[in-house]
Amino acid sequence: MEFTRARLTDVMAKLGEPGFRAAQLHRWLYSQRSDDFGAMSSISTSLRQKLASSYAIRVSSVVRTEGESSASMTGDGSQTVKYLLRMPDDELVESVLIPSGERMTACISAQAGCPLQCSFCATGHMGFRRNLHAFEMTDQVFALQQETEKRTGGRLTNIVFMGMGEPLLNLDNVIEAVATLTGKDYSFSISEKRITISTVGLVRGIERIAASGLKTKLAISLHSADQQLRERLMPVAGQYPLDELGRAITGYNRMTGLPVTFVYMLLRGVNDTAEDARKLTRYARRFLCKINLIDYNSIVNFEFRPAYPDTRDAFVRHLLDAGLQVTVRKSQGAAINAACGQLATQPGPSASNRSNY
């Protein structure tokens, strides 16, 4: 079973134990990260025996590690590293450890696979297998924290839900995982402000986050401010037109006081023209926002290509001249298929199955 706070409370009630035992047990599992009921010394022997006879503690494990070659390392000589993790039911997911200066970011997955089938993303074309439990997300973070300690002696500074899957399709478990990772009196405790949740723009999920009181950051994969093109790139965008998405973003800005980050992947000859930049400018200036431009990361058998440098520079200049806040993010992990859109535990479709844009 999954040991969420609510589930542990139910178990304690079923066993006739006081409610505070649930909090104790949750701390043993997620702060001390104990995998043995017998070692939980602050819990009575009789309760430990009851738990051991009825339940098992299952954890995820790292089964493969792949680091970039020295030629692909970041400027400070550190490596982006991709991890393949096996879940307790043998499902596989990928996570990425991304160093950048003083930052050490864990990019984690919310789903095994993805059902959305965005045209440029390998994860979507491996198919959807299931949502991840909250503990499977925290397990990814804890595994990457252990790797960070071994490699640098330091700690993770940031967490991004930008790996495999659409986090807002699994929002209950994402919120549960965030609550555990930000627990003030837990051994691993990170500020909500250092966590980013990514979405392709699922309006109901954005509205729910806005009303939840979460102080995490929100990143929205936009990729085009033209509705028809956006639908071709991201079929789910047909369910959430730009105007409807805009109303959700306005509500998010108003309720949280926080900006959103528009993630825009530049695709050569697809969404990188001067007209595309003008459309993005008209759309983005309506909101409290930042724009994060990223290069397309080549995927075997996918037809897209990154924008030419001159084209990208002109695109950036147009946005800056319009007074927008823009970051051009250096892609990390592309050499090991660990960059945005590249995570997949099985190959995507052949080029003959791709549509032309």
Active site amino acids = 94, 340
The answer to whether 160 and 97 are in contact (CB under 8 A) is no
Dist. CA 70–CA 84, nearest whole Å: 21
Dist. CA 125–CA 257, nearest whole Å: 36
In the beta sheet, which residues pair with residue 95?
Answer: 83
| Strand-strand pairing, 128-131 and 111-113 | antiparallel
Helix axis angle, 274-284 relative to 309-321, nearest 10°?
30
Angle of CA points 107, 289, 204, to nearest 5°: 70
Task: With CA atoms as reference, report the closest residue to 121 among 235, 33, 217.
Answer: 235
What backbone torsions phi and psi does residue 196 show, to the nearest 5 degrees? -120, 130
Dist. CA 343–CA 350, nearest whole Å: 16
Dist. CA 294–CA 119, nearest whole Å: 16
Give, in order, the Cα–Cα distances in Å from 184 to each of 26, 157, 159, 220: 13, 15, 16, 28
Dist. CA 338–CA 72, nearest whole Å: 12
